[in-house]
Amino acid sequence: MSNSNRYKKAQIATMIGIGVNLLLAILKTVGGIVGNSRALIADAVHSASDVISSVAVLVGIRAAQKPPDSEHPYGHGKSENVATLIVAILLVIVGFEIIYNAILSVLDGAVESNTSMIALYIIIFSIVVKEALFQYKFRLGTKIKSPALIADAWHHRSDAISSVVALIGIGLSIVGAAFGIPYLGYLDPVASAVIALIIMYMGYQLAKEAVSMSLEVVLTDEETEAMRKTVIGIDKVRQIDRLIARSHGSYVIIDIKISVDADITVEEGHHIARIVKQTLLGNHEEVKDVNVHVNPY
């Protein structure tokens, strides 16, 4: 898949996510206010953070399309990791805010005992929509190898999980009001606190992954085995002296030293090096650039 087609698919998926999340955030906010549910309002905040994070991902994906320049000779692939880190930080901040408000509401005794069924219907609808968005973005992100899109997909999954928690809290709160069990009303703000913990955990996991990829992690021997087989199968390559493949955002940069017969001309050595580069680029779509050094055998 070409880079332009890859980024186009990622942009379309991200824009779909922005539109759906915006509608869900509005729906949940209205439903939370009308239905007297703190858990649903907390979930609305989560959906609103999805909108902001998707915008950050969209900016990162567009920046990653820029061709290499003098300051970024290997391209702008890490822009997607920066976008992923922004998403992660946003999740943690949102989580802190929600859990803080939940604790205050419980301590103040400001719990709702008349949560409406409308809140329950909205949260069920949200769970179905967010899980569908997760499946769509995760599959596409994996296919086109986009870390930012995969991160955004997990943001949708975290929203779906938080909606399940909200569903439990809202449902039990409604049961408590129907059967005269006042303490069940506390489960609505408690559910919002649990949602906050889920959001913060997802943020931590995404931040850890984004930082790791930004440090240009070197691929293991197992991960580069197929690349080595590709090179060693090329005619006139006598051996591989060294192969280092490092992540650069959503793609891989390879530095390789090969040995060729010592008595061939410089032009022939250059030709072999060019074939090595073209073969690696053609056979491994995750490889963006290859630097080949030729040694005498």
Does 234 lie in the same domain as 134? no
| Residue 273: pLDDT over 90 | yes
Rounded to an integer, what distance in angstroms lies between the CA atom of residue 136 and that of residue 20?
13
Does 108 lie in the same domain as 30? yes
Does 165 lie in the same domain as 80? yes
Q: pLDDT-based confidence at 73, cuts 50/70/90?
A: very low
Per-residue pLDDT, 297:
84
Last residue of a domain, one of 171, 186, 215: 215
Residue 69, judged by CB atoms within 10 A of its CB (0-12, 13-18, 19+), counts as: exposed
Last residue of a domain, one of 182, 215, 248: 215
Does 291 lie in the same domain as 174? no
Does 253 lie in the same domain as 185? no
Does 232 lie in the same domain as 168? no
| Per-residue pLDDT reduced to its tens digit, 224-272 | 899 999 999 999 999 999 999 887 655 788 999 999 999 999 999 999 9
295 strand-pairing partners: 259
Does 234 lie in the same domain as 197? no
User: Mean per-residue pLDDT for 25-54?
Assistant: 82
Rounded to an integer, what distance in angstroms lies between the CA atom of residue 67 and that of residue 255?
20
Helix axes 221-232, 266-283, angle to 10 degrees: 130
pTM over 0.75: no
Which range marks the domain in which residue 185 is found?
3-215
Residue 171 CA neighbour count, 13 Å, CB half:
9
**20 phi and psi angles, rounded to 5 deg:** -65, -45
User: Mean per-residue pLDDT for 3-14?
Assistant: 75
CB 84 within 8 A of CB 148: yes
Does 201 lie in the same domain as 231? no
Distances (CA, A) of 72 to 81, 97, 108, 160: 15, 37, 54, 38
User: Mean per-residue pLDDT for 214-219?
Assistant: 68
**177 is written with which tokens?**
């009001």
| Per-residue pLDDT reduced to its tens digit, 126-185 | 999 989 989 998 998 888 877 777 877 887 887 788 788 888 888 888 888 788 787 787
| Residue 220: pLDDT over 70 | yes
Does 271 lie in the same domain as 166? no
| Residue 277: pLDDT over 90 | yes
Number of domain units in the chain: 2
**What is the CATH classification number for the domain harbouring 226?**
3.30.70.1350
Spatial CA neighbour of 187 closest among 90, 93, 91, 119: 119
Per-residue pLDDT, 295:
94
| Residue 1: pLDDT over 60 | no
Spatial CA neighbour of 43 closest among 54, 29, 56: 29
Does 230 lie in the same domain as 192? no
Rounded to an integer, what distance in angstroms lies between the CA atom of residue 29 and that of residue 203?
23
**What is the CATH classification number for the domain harbouring 122?**
1.20.1510
Per-residue pLDDT, 72:
46
Does 251 lie in the same domain as 182? no
Last residue of a domain, one of 215, 238, 259: 215
Does 259 lie in the same domain as 243? yes
| Per-residue pLDDT reduced to its tens digit, 77-122 | 555 667 777 778 877 887 888 788 778 777 776 555 567 788 889 9
